[in-house]
Amino acid sequence: MDSDDDFNSSQASGDDFLDDQDSDLGLEDDSDFDMDQDDVGFESQDKDMGPRKQAYEVDFKVFDPQQIQGSQDRQIDEVSSILGQPPEATAILLRHLRWNKERLIDRYMDNQEEILESAGLGETAANNPPKISKVAGFVCDICCEDDPSLDTFAMKCGHRFCVECYRQYLYTKIKEEGEAARIRCPGDGCNRIVDSKSLDLLVAEELRDRYHELLTRTYVDDKDNLRWCPAPNCVYAVECGVKNKDLMQIVPTVHCECSHDFCFGCSLNDHQPAPCALVKMWLKKCEDDSETANWISANTKECPKCNSTIEKNGGCNHMTCRKCRHEFCWMCMGVWSEHGTSWYNCNRFEEKSGSEARDAQAKSRMSLERYLHYYNRYANHEQSAKLDKDIYLKTEKKMQQLQNTTGMSWIEVQYLDTASQALQQCRQTLKWTYAFAYYLARNNLTEIFEDNQKDLEMAVENLSEMFEKPVDQLQGLKVDMMDKTSYCTKRRVILLNDTAENLKLGNWEFNVKFS
Amino acid sequence: MSAGAKKRIMKEYGECMAETPAGMKINFDEQNMTKWEVLMDGPDGSVYAGGHFKLEIIFPNEYPFKPPVVSFRTKIYHPNVSNDDKGSMCLGLLRPDEWKPPNKVVAVLRLIQSLMVEPNIDDAIEPSIANEYKENRKEFEKNAKDWVKRYAK
């Protein structure tokens, strides 16, 4: 009952929140549409807010492959005109210096020859384009063919090979080794880089595409403010200004065009509110400990004398520690000698030595249990997040059924979709609040955090429960469900804003040091 | 394996026969030309002098676009040869990113010979042996000679 009151009282402010947004949106062109649908897409409105940034949000921009190629080309053109080098050579120079324009221009002005040499462009690329030719008396140093009709190719460095071998060489480098920006001339000891014009001349279209794809990859890889979306088969890259050194003050979650939420700092799935270093430590701990710790907790006790962990492997309660030979009772943990012959019922529970032993054990257990407390909740939300896909699919089916049985329109059942997505997002956040809480020192701030966590969790469980209801009841729950959805989303925003603000100010006290 | 690669291996074998580097013998089987067996004498003046080492050279299918794979079939105490039953080497020319298609097996054999005279400490596969070579040359020489006596006679 308590929780219901809580929910209702906060509901009023939840409406405020909605109204707030509407008035915001009212200033935009599509206000009519939004007013009509004002009870439907809370989620989408949230995203459309744009200029009103929450404390936990960061600025970012998503690029598609054409845009990446475009910005690459623009920079090449720009630098090319400054240096007076052809675009192919400029591209090589830029890649050589990992797209650091300023450094390239500096070093070029400083010592032109040196930088050209180190980038594999020795003896300034002249203006005549690369071409395939036949050369009398030529023997290919790779395949040893000497047919005079052989097509051959060489770059400015003059290392000439037959076109077939050149092609095979490039094929091996690109297809098998995934090289692109730094393929060197096949000539023995030659460091000249194969430029893209020469490459285009030599290889088939399919390989050319792969080559340019790899070139684009290195562009994104080389730039600190760009990162590939890690979702499988996603082609987008995200630009974000958050630097590595800021990652203890900010958790830069970005949202890709493909709808995947990930952390710009470490590429893992969205882990707000926990900062990257904490996540890393937590994941490592889970990997090392969880299974083992669970088992230890369930099946073992520590020897009261030397604290060795002991598994009971027989029925008898008379234990002898293998390590220190201490004899004790498995039931009460007391010294065995005090048991006399009455051990079978273990009526010695109140004995002093036994209770001391239990105290010591309780302490070592406590740290384990503390960890398991957080881990179990973390794992539970993770598990639920995994089930999200099922929930989502079921939701789609329910939406179909609702449309069929009640005659509701497509737009009228969208609230289920919105609810399901909000649920997924909140669970993802909740999961990481437990890792975050595990490392928090106990203070007032932590208590506020735990209250926020509790509120969000309660809201999520309330909403989650509604999803289990049979289809015929769902229609009647529409308003309630929409309320609960917006409440969940609101609680999440509150929690994330609170953690993000305090993180930025360095207010959190942790019980460990993060590297 | 492509006809071009076979032709190339044949030609390289011909060149090796025409002027075999001193202290080497190459066993070549025309039925299986992608696997060469080389008998190499420990170079005079080196700690391996007096030993006879059996090496195996495997040509990958992508040869000469990928480097040949070299392994010592006779145990040798050397910073650049793995101290296990594989006896593998992976440095200089033999690394895929260093190898260039015009490079020849003969160059690889010469590289191995020169490494037996002077190991490459910066690119060692056995750090403990490399360390010993650096810090305690006497001990290294004793061990190397010991192994020659034990395995390479």
Q: What percent of chain B has pLDDT over 70?
A: 100
- Say if residues B58 and B34 touch (Cβ distance below 8 Å): yes
End-to-end CA, chain A: 45
Q: What was the pLDDT predicted at A456? A: 93
Residue of higher predicted confidence among A294 and A165: A165
Q: Which residue of A141, A161, A175 to mutate against B (max B Cβ within 10 Å)?
A: A141
Q: Is B87 left (phi over 0), alpha (psi -120 to 50) or beta?
A: left
* Nearest CA-CA partner of A72 in A55, A53, A95: A95
Instruction: Tell me what pLDDT residue A292 has.
Output: 67
For residue A372, pLDDT over 90 is answered with no
- Which residues of B fall within a CB distance of 8 Å from A176? 62
Residue A148 has pLDDT above 50, yes or no: yes
- A197 versus A80: the higher-pLDDT residue is A80
Please tell me which of A38-47, A195-204, A287-296 the model is most confident about, judged by mean pLDDT. A195-204
User: What are B103-152's pLDDT values in tens digits?
Assistant: 999 889 989 999 999 998 888 888 889 889 988 999 999 999 999 999 98
A386 versus A343: the higher-pLDDT residue is A386
Task: Give dist(CA A119, CA A199) in Å, integer.
Answer: 17
Q: What residues of A are labeled active site?
A: 316
Position A508 pLDDT exceeds 80: yes
What band does A193 get if pLDDT is binned at 50, 70 and 90? confident
Residue A120: its chain B contacts at CB < 8 A?
none
Query: Total domain count for chain B?
Result: 1
DSSP state of A52: S
Scanning the structure block, which residue is given the tokens 């480097």? B67
The pLDDT score that the predictor gives to residue A123 is 60
Tell me the average pLDDT across A352-358.
Answer: 64
CATH numeric code, A276-504: 1.20.120.1750
Judged against a pLDDT cut of 70, whether residue A18 lies above it is answered with: no
Tell me which residue of B42, B68, B38, B41 sits closest to B55, measured CA to CA: B38
Please check the confidence at residue B48 and state whether its pLDDT lies above 90.
yes
**Nearest chain B CA: its distance from A185 CA (Å):** 9
Identify the H or E element spanning A227.
strand A226-228
**What span, in angstroms and rounded, lies between the C-alpha atoms of A234 and A64?**
10
- Report CB contact under 8 Å: A143, B102: no
Q: What is the pLDDT of residue A275?
A: 93
ipTM for the whole complex = 0.82
Average pLDDT over residues A179-185: 85
| Residue ranges covered by each domain of chain A | 2-58, 65-222, 276-504
Q: What percentage of chain A reaches a pLDDT higher than 90?
A: 22
C-alpha distance from residue A286 to each of A275, A289, A376, A450, A480 (Å): 16, 5, 11, 21, 38
State the residue range of the domain holding B107: 3-151
d(CA A501, CA A251) in angstroms, rounded, equals 11
Is residue A297 scored above 80 in pLDDT? Answer: no
Residues of chain B with C-beta less than 8 angstroms from the C-beta of A188: 100, 102-103
Nearest to A238 by CA among A249, A250, A252, A246: A252
Q: Please name the residues between 129 and 148 in chain A that touch chain B, using a CB distance below 8 Å.
A: 141-145
Give A14's pLDDT tier (boundaries 50, 70, 90): very low
pLDDT band at A31 (very low <50, low <70, confident <90, very high): very low
- Find, among B30, B33, B81, the residue nearest to B55 by Cα: B81
Residues A484-500 pLDDT 10s:
999 999 999 999 999 99
CATH number for the domain spanning B85: value is: 3.10.110.10
Query: How many beta-carbon pairs below 8 A join chains A and B?
Result: 40
B16 is catalytic: no
